Amino acid sequence: MEVAYQDIHRDIIELSKAGNQKAQYQLYRLYAKAMYNICCRMMNNQAEAEDLLQESFAEAFLKLDSFRYESSFGAWLKRIVVNKCINHMKKRRAQLVYTEHVPEADPSEDRDPETYELDVKKIHKAMEQLPEGYRVIFSLYLLEGYDHGEIAQIMGITESTSKSQFSRAKQKIKEILINTAS
């Protein structure tokens, strides 16, 4: 038995399905900022993020009849946005960096993590410096809430690759934060 979600924006969604442009604009306004943030984190490029946001909403409105309240509208839209970003990366033939070598930490350089003042801006800056493969998996797992099985399916990789890339991304962010704190 399928569970139908009671979406708080059901009336707006139904009007949008019927082609009401004001309702579609209202849906856009409700979800654009959150979806734009996803695009930015995944693409690491503001112009591409803006383009992909528009393309994602265009696709969502074209496919709106397929939305059946089996999840929240936000989750359904988020899936479209994430897939749009990943497909864009594939189209531009971006080579995701999957490395097997993880540099060993030098114990003499260990510092007390409490001595670092970490804030969202520093972590965001560190994320921007990650290789694309690391950044995408890090974002999907930690920020978007996908599990490694879902990431593996989305990215066309194994679950263990997703886990190892996430671990390496965390290590790389830690290194970047340590190096920028010096």
Residue 32: give the domain boundaries: 10-91
Whether residue 99 is contained in a domain is answered as: no
CATH number of the domain within which 55 lies: 1.10.1740.10
Mean pLDDT of 63-85: 93
The more confidently predicted of residues 77 and 154 is 77
Which residues in 59-92 are b (16+ Cβ under 10 Å) and which e? ebbeebeebeeebebeebbbbbbbebbbebbeee
**58 and 20 in a common domain:** yes
Whether residue 135 is contained in a domain is answered as: yes
Whether residue 155 is contained in a domain is answered as: yes
Q: Is the pLDDT score of 156 beyond 60?
A: yes
CATH number of the domain within which 135 lies: 1.10.10.10
Q: How many domains does the chain have?
A: 2
Whether residue 176 is contained in a domain is answered as: yes
**117 and 85 in a common domain:** no
CA-based torsion, 68, 73, 79, 85: positive or negative:
positive
**85 and 18 in a common domain:** yes
Per-residue confidence band for 108, with pLDDT thresholds at 50, 70 and 90? very low
**112 and 49 in a common domain:** no
- Quick one: pLDDT at residue 98? 52
Could you tell me what percentage of the chain is helix, strand and coil, using 3-state DSSP and rounding each to the nearest 5?
70, 0, 30
Domain boundary among 91, 117, 147: 91
Whether residue 2 is contained in a domain is answered as: no
**66 and 114 in a common domain:** no
Which range, 29-38, 95-104, 129-138, 149-158, is most confident? 29-38
